[in-house]
Amino acid sequence: MTSDAYKLKREFLEYLEIEKGSSLKTIENYDRYITRFLEFIKVKDVKNITDENVREFRLFLNRQCAGNNRQTGETLKKKTQNYYLIGIRGFLKYLTKKKIESLPAERIELAKVPERQLDLISQIELERLLSAPEGNSLKSLRDRAILQLLFSTGLRVSELCSLTRDLNFSAGEFSIRGKGSKIRVVFVSEEANKSIKEYLKNRKDMDDALFVKIAEEKSINEREGLARRSIERIVKHYAIKAGISKRVTPHIIRHCFATDLLQNGADIRSVQMMLGHSNISTTQIYTHITDKQLQEIHKRFHSKK
């Protein structure tokens, strides 16, 4: 059985694509992480990968300048460094699975990263944002439907961009293929459903996409459907209009969706399913918000004796 590092790397990427159903972006990232590692350690036979190779590569990553920050001297964030280590560990686990001798994956420990802080807006700010698209122009109707649907469903922006107009929104739910090609059910509020109906009723085009550019937004030969950056610009525009000084993105609306569910009594497992998280530890970041709320209640109402 071959132990050629680059040949095995290619087989690992094919394994991710065919057997694991990983997205093209995930495969590209893994390819970049592992290739950079192999080029750095200059090892052609996976049997020769050592703890020392990994240690030296970690030092190399830790001293790398981040992006275009060579002048400021800012180095790669620990989270970014961990992406490389996760890619290498995945490759080594694959080798173990194939019974190919190499460094055991568990020998690679991830760097400790600071606890993630959630960017959130208040309930009042959220209400101002959702009501910011005023009037009955097609643009206002479309943008109101976008904001309402984001908050109603907790969709990722990429998932929102993939929606088609033939979905039966009036059913109050629909299936979406999310990250890792996993299918989940999302739920549509009456308010969001009403906004979508009003928007579609005023559409004159025949494009399949749910959300499309209006006439003044189009340029020649440009696709009709809204892309990720367009949705992000729309959210930013209405956040400014609503007088919200914080940075607001579609992902922050997704955060608001999750915390709203938890603060109103939803259990963590249900929220995990609605967000489409494969690992509950990803969802547990939101419990810090509700823990803080409980702490405030404890201070206000618990006996002072």
Poorest-pLDDT segment among 21-25, 138-142, 236-240:
21-25
Give the residue numbers marked as catalytic.
156, 179, 251, 254, 277, 286
Nearest to 104 by CA among 117, 116, 120, 93: 93
Q: How does pLDDT run across 161-183, given as a tens digit for each residue?
A: 999 999 988 899 999 988 877 89
Average pLDDT over residues 72-93: 87
Residue 92 confidence (pLDDT): 95
Give the pLDDT of residue 42.
93
The answer to whether 129 and 147 are in contact (CB under 8 A) is yes
pLDDT band at 198; cut points 50, 70, 90: very high
Q: What domains can be seen in the chain, in order of their start residue?
A: 5-107 (1.10.150.130), 123-299 (1.10.443.10)
Mark 55-86 as b/e (b = at least 16 C-beta within 10 Å): eebbebbeeeeeeeeeeeeeebeeeebbbbbe
The per-residue pLDDT for range 96-135, each reduced to its tens digit, is 999 999 999 999 998 887 666 667 888 999 999 999 999 9
pTM of this structure? 0.69
Whether the CB-CB separation of 134 and 141 falls below 8 Å is answered with no
231 sits in which H/E element = helix 228-241
| The pLDDT of residue 215 | 76
